[in-house]
Amino acid sequence: MTLRFPGLIDVHCHLREPGATHKEDFITGTKAALKGGFTFVIDMPNNPEPTLSMEALNKKISLAKEKAFCDVGFHYGTNGLNTSTFEQAFSNPNVFGLKVYLNHTTGSLLIENQVLLEDVFKSWQSQKPILVHAEGEEKLAMAISLAKKHGHRLHLCHIARKEEVAQVQKAKAEGQKITAGVCPHHLFMTKEDAKKMKGFALMKPELGTLEDQQALWKGLRGGVIDLVETDHAPHTKKEKQNPPAGGPAPFGVPGLETTLPLLLTAVSENRLTIDDVIRLCHTGPAQCFHVSIHHNTNVEVDLDAKYEIKNENLHTKCKWSPFDGWKVKGKVLRVFLRGEK
């Protein structure tokens, strides 16, 4: 059966341009997005030169305008010292949120100082959400209470642990304006898979236990989780295989081309419904981040097509996937952007 979805939205990806175009760029990243059924993607600010100023933001916007094949938006970044630029940033229609890192990951963006954090939450005087990379109960609680104090809409990126799902559920029940996302790798893989994959399964947050995974699925179906975000984070095979002396491999896995087929496979196994997929990859992201998708922007999928995910068939520049060799059911046939194939 062929089905037409509204254009899918990925609110969390790392397209790497400028500064790390050996991993990905706006051309390859947005081609990968379209291949995966995403017509609108929001790029993260943790480039080698992070998106902390209007100069850096405008550079990204003009590069994307010139090169991108699908629609692209941006999250602004902060190191706690650029709050004077916030008003200009959130007034820009290409900006959809502010990303705050409470844990160390790829790049230099991390705020640990409480005074700076308070200033960040106080200064982002916008309806556009603050997104946090907050791993574990303590950091999540900190983000939730800061958002409450300053009356912010808060998006919790990549919820990955059972306890975190419970925490989100509780905060929502208390009436707080928070939304939460999960990543496909946490839904479809556990620590066990990581053993075989070495550096290729290294990401932040790390893969969890079977119990964590089950809690994520429960949250996904029950509505505690608002959306699926790919956290498409390409690194080259070489970087993953040969990490710098003594250090770990860089964190992150690509996901733009594999997320929808994996979710459709879950539909074919009655683990999700088609309506869930639309809610998690279109309606949820559109509502959380105030994105509107043109009615003639849509994705045609063949629900019955079976195929094997293969590294060599991917459009991402890094040319590998943690799901290489996985058999999926559900394939993107064509994508229309404002009516144009």
Give the contact letters, 93-132, x = binds to ligand DOR (CB under 6 A), - = no. Answer: ------------xx--------------------------
Pairing of strands 178-182, 298-308: unpaired
The yes or no reply on residue 256 touching ligand DOR (CB under 6 A) is no
Q: Which residue is nearest to ligand DOR (CB)?
A: 252
Binding ligand DOR (rule: CB under 6 A), the pick from 133, 162, 186, 240 is: 133
**Six-digit token pair at 16?**
């790497």
Binding ligand DOR (rule: CB under 6 A), the pick from 39, 46, 265, 297 is: 46
Contacts of 85 (CB under 8 A, 6+ apart): 52, 53, 54
The yes or no reply on residue 231 touching Zn ion (CB under 5 A) is yes
The yes or no reply on residue 252 touching ligand DOR (CB under 6 A) is yes
Minimum gap (Å) between residue 300 Cβ and Zn ion: 29
Residues in the chain: 341
Nearer to Zn ion, 160 or 260 (CB): 160
CA distances from 262 to 100, 209, 258, 272, 288 (A): 29, 19, 6, 11, 23
Q: What gap in Å lies between CA 219 and CA 178, rounded to an integer?
A: 14
Binding ligand DOR (rule: CB under 6 A), the pick from 5, 76, 251, 289 is: 251
Q: What gap in Å lies between CA 314 and CA 200, rounded to an integer?
A: 16
Nearer to Zn ion, 231 or 276 (CB): 231
Backbone CA torsion sign across 155, 31, 250, 110: negative
Query: Which of 140, 162, 240 is closest to 197 using CA atoms?
Result: 240
On the 0-12 / 13-18 / 19+ scale of CB atoms within 10 A, 216 is buried
Residue 67, CA atoms < 13 Å, CB-side half-sphere: 18
Kind plus residue range of the DSSP H or E element containing 87: helix 86-91
Minimum gap (Å) between residue 14 Cβ and ligand DOR: 4
Minimum gap (Å) between residue 233 Cβ and Zn ion: 6
Pick the stretch among 55-63, 210-218, 224-232, 333-341 that binds Zn ion (CB under 5 A): 224-232
Residue 252 binds what, of ligand DOR, Zn ion, none (CB under 5 to 8 Å, by partner type)? ligand DOR
Nearer to Zn ion, 16 or 329 (CB): 16
- C-beta of residue 325 within 8 angstroms of C-beta of residue 31: no
Residue 204 binds what, of ligand DOR, Zn ion, none (CB under 5 to 8 Å, by partner type)? ligand DOR
Minimum gap (Å) between residue 77 Cβ and Zn ion: 12
3-class secondary-structure state, position 337: strand
The yes or no reply on residue 185 touching ligand DOR (CB under 6 A) is no
Q: What gap in Å lies between CA 158 and CA 174, rounded to an integer?
A: 21
- For Zn ion, the binding residues (CB under 5 A) are 231
Chain residues binding ligand DOR by CB under 6 A are: 14, 46, 105-106, 133, 203-204, 231, 233, 251-252
